[in-house]
Amino acid sequence: MSSLRQALTDYLSVRRALGYKLERAGKLLDEFLTYLEDRGEKRVTTKTALAWAMLPQGASRGWWSSRLSIVRGFATHLQAINPASEVPANGLLPGKQRRATPYLYSDEQIASLIAVAETLQTPHRVATYQSLIGLLAVTGMRVGEAIGLDRGDFDSGHGLIAIRKGKFGKSRELPLHSSTVDALRAYLCRPDRSRSAPSTTALFVSSAGTRLLYANVQCTFHQLVSRAGLKPRSSNCRPRLHDLRHSFAVRTILDGYRHGGDTQARLTLLSTYLGHVDPRKTYWYLSAAPELLELAGRRLDSHFGGNS
């Protein structure tokens, strides 16, 4: 193993020990080292890093910037080992990271997505996606957390789900409504659950009895969005699977406003429920909801007795 390969292994190990998964970064850095090896280069230079980052012809400047940023992190690690390694300057290939505008689903749209899942092949696949979409909608958990659930993470007796594979390695427990508990219990007891399913610990399984793959779930969800007739609201606001999480967060705070509760206390609980280490992440989930702004304005107006 070359010194660069060993350095990459050490770099990824340290970062992953801190909770970073670095799945995409690991693949890209492996490609970058192959690029260096093909050219007989044994250290990282700014020139080579730039050339590799801009390899995808026709790619967006944001993607180039992202590729260079990944190399920059590794190069910083290398420079501490070998001062001859160069670190690309921060000003190179600047690219604005534009976050997508959340697509907030109405209850009717979520019901429509669950209904059109009936068009999927095999009754078990129908039940799997109806259960998965329903669980995401009523808990706001991340897609990766949901498909990473094991059967043992579901405690039907106490109405709880334990998330043990959360972001940054964090774990938490989510209390469930009794109707959600009943739905999950029914899904696990289906007679058409694959015979090979006992070989996996997964809660949600494919028709082949294996754990669901993220890419396949995304692909199927896009099919359901099309069949349900859900259209983009703008070029930057399209129906995404992750937006079920946004929608859950907004509905939770909306309910607090409508019932006159302590929304600040509810926001703190919501942040914990969603698994956010930093509450500012939760505020982002609520930033694109006109309904929230309207209700907040009404409460402020009421506080000042109608006087602006």
C-beta separation of 218 from 251 below 8 A: no
Question: Beta-carbon neighbour count of residue 32 at 10 Å?
Answer: 23
**Residue 62: predicted pLDDT:** 83
pLDDT in tens, 229-257: 999 988 878 999 999 998 888 888 777 66
User: ∠278-180-168 over CA atoms, to 5°?
Assistant: 25
For residue 124, indicate whether it is catalytic. Answer: no
Res 308: pLDDT: 45
Please give the average per-residue pLDDT across 142-153, as a whole number: 94
As a whole number of angstroms, the distance between CA 12 and CA 145 comes to 22
Is 142 a residue of the active site?
yes
Distance CA 233, CA 258 (A): 26
Q: Is 167 part of the annotated catalytic residue set? A: yes
Q: What is the pTM of this model?
A: 0.67
Mean pLDDT, the chain, whole residue set? 85
172 assigned to active site? no
Check whether 293 has a pLDDT greater than 60: no
User: Is the predicted pLDDT of residue 292 greater than 80, yes or no?
Assistant: no
> Of residues 67, 124, 142, 246, which has the active-site annotation?
142
- Contacts for 71 with CB less than 8 Å, ≥ 6 apart: 29, 32, 44, 49, 52, 53, 88
Please pick, among 245, 246, 251, 273, the residue that the annotation labels catalytic. 245
Amino acid 296: pLDDT: 52
Catalytic residue among 151, 167, 227, 238: 167
Q: Can you tell me the mean pLDDT for 37-45?
A: 93
Average pLDDT over residues 2-12: 92
What is the rounded CA–CA span in Å between residue 221 and residue 133? 9
pLDDT, residue 59, reads 79
What are the tens digits of pLDDT across the range 58-87? 778 888 999 999 999 999 999 998 888 999
State the DSSP string of the chain.
--HHHHHHHHHHHHHHHTT---HHHHHHHHHHHHHHHHTT--S--HHHHHHHHT-STT--HHHHHHHHHHHHHHHHHHHHH-TTS----TTSS-----PPPP-PPPHHHHHHHHHHGGGSSSHHHHHHHHHHHHHHHHH---HHHHHT-BGGGEETTTTEEEE-S-GGG--EEEE--HHHHHHHHHHHT-TTS-TTGGGS-BSSB-TTSSBPPHHHHHHHHHHHHHHTT---SBTTB---TTHHHHHHHHHHHHHHHHTT--HHHHHHHHHHHHT-SSHHHHHHHTTT-HHHHHHHHHHHHHHTTT--
Is 303 a residue of the active site?
no
Using the structure block, give the residue that is written with the tokens 């992190």.
Answer: 73
Count of beta carbons in the 10 Å neighbourhood of residue 168: 10
Residues 135-164 have a mean pLDDT of 94
* pLDDT value, residue 111: 97
Decide which of 73 and 282 is more confident.
Answer: 73
Among this protein's residues, is 67 annotated catalytic? no
107-227: CATH topology is: hpI Integrase; Chain A (1.10.443)
